[in-house]
Amino acid sequence: APSADDALLAGLNPQQRQAVEYRGSALLIVAGAGSGKTSVLTRRIASLIDRREAWPSQILAITFTNKAATEMRERVQALLGNTADGMWISTFHSACVRILRREAESIGKTANFTIYDSGDTRALIKRIVKDLDADTLGFTVAGVSGKISKLKNELSDVETYARSANLSDPQEVMFLEIFRQYTKALRSANAFDFDDLISETVFLFRAFPRVAALYQRRFRHILVDEYQDTNHAQYSLIRELTMPIAPAIADDLEQQGLHVRALQDAVGVVPGASLTVVGDSDQSIYAFRGADIRNIVEFERDFPGAKVVLLEQNYRSTQNILSAANAVIANNFDRKDKKLWTAVGDGEKIVGFTGYSGHDEAQFVADEIEKLHANGMDYRDIAVFYRTNAQTRALEEIFIRSALPYRIMGGTKFYERAEIKDSMAYLIAVANPDDMLALRRILNTPKRGIGPATETQLGSYAGDNGITFREAMRDAGSLGLGPKVTNAILQLSALLDEAAAKADPTAPAGASPVADVLTFLLDQSGYLEALRSSRDPQDEARAENVEELVAVTKEFARNNPDGGLIDFLTEVSLVAAADEIDDSSGTVSLMTLHTAKGLEYDAVFLTGVEEDLLPHRMSAGEPGGPAEERRLFYVGITRAKKRLFLSLAMTRAQFGETAVAMPSRYLQEIPADLIDWKQSPGSATSRGGTQPRALNARRPGSRWGEETGQRNFGAAALDRPKAEWPNRITATVRDNGDLELAAGDRIRHTDFGDGRVTAVTGEGTKRVAHVQFEKAGTKKLLIKIAPIEKL
Ligand code: ATP
Ligand code: MG
């Protein structure tokens, strides 16, 4: 058969080609943003398979998000021209879940374990902190969960912690007790938290070398993207997986029919898998989650004989964008200087903008997006980044009003909504009857007259008799409760049993689809009916969300014809920050800077480039905090291919207050001639020339005058009476749903003034008026909420 080799290597530069073709045991590719690290990893996988050096099933590739995994799989398949089934391309978490489900029994769990997300974890910790009165000692849920997470990322469990803890310190004793109870609760609920997924897999491999050997034998080639953001637990996992297999264990495997002879060397050892890692220490942005930059720095020491390949050509961005990125990151000391260059040409200048408020800034972003779009750029090639989720409020408000299609990546929070958590809790209670958290959640949801006292009674009955909460529910008759309450518990119990029978894959008729099980639970429990018949207007939206979840289960069934209830629950619990449920194209993407890692867009809007946001105020006290924030800024800049917009506001509404904002220190680090600062578009018209002097003073000046500009700016902003700062966000909650509009009508808009409707498109609540304003140009407005009146 003709080799795809030429196609696989086509267009690669010599260093990239070397990285694809190298065949030693360990390879480190270090390079700046956009130099083709991820592309090289992808081609390397394809090349290994294409040259018959590996079966797809011998490949384990680790990406940072599920989305990146899907993309990599599709690229490999496109390069090979066929499907490469059996390849594991996934995140650390997904790979570990697969291993743990198979091997759960070895570590005292069953394969139907639940995965607790951060919300579940917080709920559990909250209860423990309350039970132990630990809040009186100053313990907070966030503090405790952060500390537990950190310990787990360092592979420290309760016993290890107890050994090193100072037991004469009441704080430490209390924390130890919380940690112990938390661990116990997870264990009895047959549940893992997110960090456990990695650390428990490491413990599993260490405790059971024969189990580890199964995976060491299977995965002959391990490749890791974004290696700079691995933490100690993840690093250890890779070490375990790339360990050689000792002769005695190799013999065992051979006897079980798992052939290893071909892999063994002269003395009977099966050498460890080949390991390829790629990373950029300038893009390390997860230190707060325990990511350890040393993993990359010390790679050569950890894997002796490792080959290091440097990539220096950037294929993503224009020279102007790259120069800005290089100039910014050069301010971090303690780093190796990289010579990143591009052949793309200078491109356009970076555009800078200072708005009066976050709202003003958002209007600028929306206007510029419309201009890009009018000039032929697809919405899907445009992204807007921000440091904190709170910043989306102003952006969304304006985007909706301008009828600009957008989606928020990672921030969907869909699965965090109460009604979705309730519905999921029903499914979890069916899949994993040990999960007390799920059972307690649904016990009186919808209301069935089972109060908190009864719940506590069930809990202590279970504890006293050494049975699970679920078994206590079955036993409700022996608790001496009133007949009504007893009945309610038994009914719920029977409902769960019936649903479990439906979901059981070993049943004669096979398992019913997840959608059917869910619908059954929602109907029979009365949950959906309670939402539908409620007088709370929000419950209508909640019912719609629940129906959306049913749609998700149906879509799951289409994509995973063999997938059962547990597969569905796994998939949902692993929806990571950068992953979206609905990957609809044709929309502008909004996301946090952390989520943006590894992605690229033609045009990037980096908003809120202000002190306290970027660097974030929380980073100030952290050692290395401002340097990490600078890397985050660097990650943001380097996502842009052609156009980069940096924007900020002079005042920012946060925590219900409007505070004066200062330009970020990082802006001064960008050479002045790279940025073209624009005027605030609203300043001349709607505010009648009242713009602060300092704003003018700063704009033409190419560099921020730290001494003059910022101080004047702050003073000028404070001089302005508060009432003059418009808070249009709250002022525009309105409903024009019934407003009749047609082409030719004249309207008045509170911000844009008078204009004429040129067309009306869309239907119902999505009707959009296209308006030619006398002063503000053409705009598209969502009629339902636009602040307009017909003249
Ligand atoms: P990041 O550090 O942001 O993760 P990266 O180093 O992983 O970046 P890639 O995403 O692999 O970089 O590549 C950046 C862009 O350059 C992609 O659009 C990719 O297709 C393109 N690219 C990479 N190598 C080449 C090449 N040899 N010729 C043309 N385009 C290339
Ligand atoms: Mg990459």
Please write the tens of the pLDDT for every residue from 28-58: 999 999 999 999 999 999 999 999 999 999 9
Average pLDDT rounded to a whole number, residues 64-73:
86
Based on the residue annotation, tell me whether 280 is a catalytic residue of this protein. Answer: no
Based on the residue annotation, tell me whether 336 is a catalytic residue of this protein. Answer: no
Please tell me which residue in 37, 43, 316, 440 is annotated as part of the active site: 37
Gap from CA of 367 to ligand 2 centroid (Å): 30
Which pLDDT does position 230 carry in this prediction? 92
Q: Per-residue pLDDT tens for 215-253?
A: 999 999 999 999 999 999 999 999 999 999 999 999 999
Q: How many CB atoms lie within 10 A of CB 120?
A: 24
Q: Whose CA is nearest to atom 24 of ligand 1?
A: 36
Which pLDDT does position 118 carry in this prediction? 80
Phi, psi of 163, deg, nearest 5: -65, -35
Q: Which residues are annotated as a binding site for ATP?
A: 31-38
Gap from CA of 174 to ligand 2 centroid (Å): 43
ipTM for this model: 0.99
Gap from CA of 600 to ligand 2 centroid (Å): 9
Residue of 353, 350, 352, 316 whose CA lies nearest to 674: 350
Cβ atoms of 46 and 21 closer than 8 Å: no
Annotate 224-279 with DSSP letters as a single string.
Answer: ESSGGG-BHHHHHHHHHHTPPBPHHHHHHHHHTT---GGG--TTS-BPPPEEEEEE
Indicate which atom in ligand 1 lies nearest the CA of residue 33: 2
- Distance, CA of 295 to CA of 240 (rounded, Å): 15
Gap from CA of 34 to ligand 1 centroid (Å): 5
SS3 429: helix
- Distance, CA of 750 to CA of 728 (rounded, Å): 10
Q: Which residues are annotated as a binding site?
A: 31-38
Query: Which pairs count as long-range contacts for 246-252, CB under 8 Å and 24+ apart, including other chains?
Result: 246/209, 249/209, 249/210, 249/213, 250/213, 252/210, 252/213
Indicate which atom in ligand 1 lies nearest the CA of residue 35: 6
pLDDT at 679 over 80: no
Cβ atoms of 153 and 197 closer than 8 Å: no
Cβ atoms of 137 and 174 closer than 8 Å: yes
Q: Per-residue pLDDT tens for 102-115?
A: 998 888 888 889 99
Please tell me which residue in 196, 225, 280, 600 is annotated as part of the active site: 225
Low-confidence winner among 150-154, 169-173, 516-520, 777-781 (lowest mean pLDDT): 777-781
Average pLDDT for the chain: 85
- Distance, CA of 170 to CA of 616 (rounded, Å): 33
Based on the residue annotation, tell me whether 583 is a catalytic residue of this protein. Answer: no
Tell me the sheet residues that pair with 588: 406
Confidence class for position 716, pLDDT limits 50, 70, 90: very low
Cβ atoms of 661 and 354 closer than 8 Å: no
The DSSP call for residue 668 is G
Confidence class for position 27, pLDDT limits 50, 70, 90: very high
Low-confidence winner among 168-177, 217-226, 541-550 (lowest mean pLDDT): 541-550
Tell me the sheet residues that pair with 166: none
Q: Per-residue pLDDT tens for 298-342?
A: 888 889 889 999 999 999 999 999 999 999 999 988 777 777 889
Tokens 């390949």, residue?
309
Q: Which two tokens stand for residue 184?
A: 């116990």
Q: Per-residue pLDDT tens for 383-400?
A: 999 998 778 878 988 888
Please tell me which residue in 283, 553, 595, 710 is annotated as part of the active site: 283
Q: Per-residue pLDDT tens for 2-21?
A: 455 677 888 999 999 999 99
Please tell me which residue in 226, 280, 435, 751 is annotated as part of the active site: 226
Based on the residue annotation, tell me whether 37 is a catalytic residue of this protein. Answer: yes
Q: Which two tokens stand for residue 662?
A: 């200062």
Based on the residue annotation, tell me whether 779 is a catalytic residue of this protein. Answer: no
Low-confidence winner among 83-87, 254-258, 735-739 (lowest mean pLDDT): 735-739
Cβ atoms of 628 and 285 closer than 8 Å: yes
Ligand 1 binding residues, C-beta < 6 A: 11-13, 16, 31, 33-39, 280, 283, 315-316, 598, 600, 638
Exposure b/e, 747-760, CB count within 10 A at least 16 = b: bebebbeebebeeb
Among all bound ligands, the one having the nearest atom to the CA of 313 is 1
Q: Whose CA is nearest to atom 26 of ligand 1?
A: 12
Cβ atoms of 369 and 577 closer than 8 Å: no
- Give the predicted TM-score (pTM) of the model: 0.77
Based on the residue annotation, tell me whether 226 is a catalytic residue of this protein. Answer: yes
Which pLDDT does position 409 carry in this prediction? 78
Which pLDDT does position 697 carry in this prediction? 34
